[in-house]
């Protein structure tokens, strides 16, 4: 099977247009969502963190989600709130652990704290010998770094 690059005009599946939308950096340097305007669907993957541009979807499929939740546009609001909190917090933080604990204090029922830990070590990389270890615990989850 040949692989081809899809441009902004997208492609069709059974006569329905599917449009890729580049949304910038998420957990990778370049992230794309798939918009199906005819049915009001966005396949957002990691862009929506559960629970974008103003495409007015009726359905939003998140990459990291609680399977008991619905795929509604309210997940966009949840992700925006998370990102707003993440932008506000670093000014007073001096370490990944402090950022991580501060974000958990703002959202103690976070579904996947491991993803949050990955976000915490990006602006605050470890400044210790490579063989030392720190263990963080939240609920039933432990992270060693």
* pLDDT, tens digit, 9 for 90 and up, residues 10-52: 999 999 999 998 887 766 667 888 899 999 888 887 677 544 5
87 located within any domain: no
- Establish if 88 belongs to a structural domain: no
How confident is the model over 50-60, as a mean pLDDT? 65
Entry pTM: 0.55
Domain identity same for 68 and 104:
no
Q: Pull the structure tokens for residue 130.
A: 């490579």
Let me know if residue 82 belongs to a domain: no
End position of a domain, from candidates 14, 40, 73: 73
62 lies in the same domain as 108 = no
pLDDT for the residue 137: 63
Torsion angle in degrees (nearest 10) through CA of 120, 124, 127, 131: 20
Quote the domain boundaries for residue 51: 1-73
Return the structure tokens found at 42: 């966005």
Structural domain total, the chain: 2
Report how far residue 14's alpha carbon sits from residue 11's, in angstroms, rounded to the nearest whole number: 10
């Amino acid at each position: 099977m040949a692989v081809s690059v899809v441009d902004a005009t997208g492609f069709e599946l059974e006569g329905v247009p599917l449009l890729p939308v580049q949304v910038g950096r998420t957990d990778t340097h370049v992230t794309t969502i798939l918009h199906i305007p005819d049915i009001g669907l966005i396949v957002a993957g990691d862009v929506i963190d559960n629970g974008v541009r103003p495409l007015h979807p009726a359905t939003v499929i998140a990459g990291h989600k609680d399977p008991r939740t619905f795929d509604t546009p309210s997940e966009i609001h949840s992700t925006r709130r998370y990102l707003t909190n993440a932008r506000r917090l670093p000014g007073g933080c001096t370490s990944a652990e402090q950022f991580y604990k501060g974000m958990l204090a703002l959202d103690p029922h976070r579904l996947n704290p491991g993803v949050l830990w990955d976000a915490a070590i990006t602006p605050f990389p470890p400044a210790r010998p490579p063989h030392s270890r720190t263990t963080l615990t939240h609920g039933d989850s432990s992270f060693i770094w």
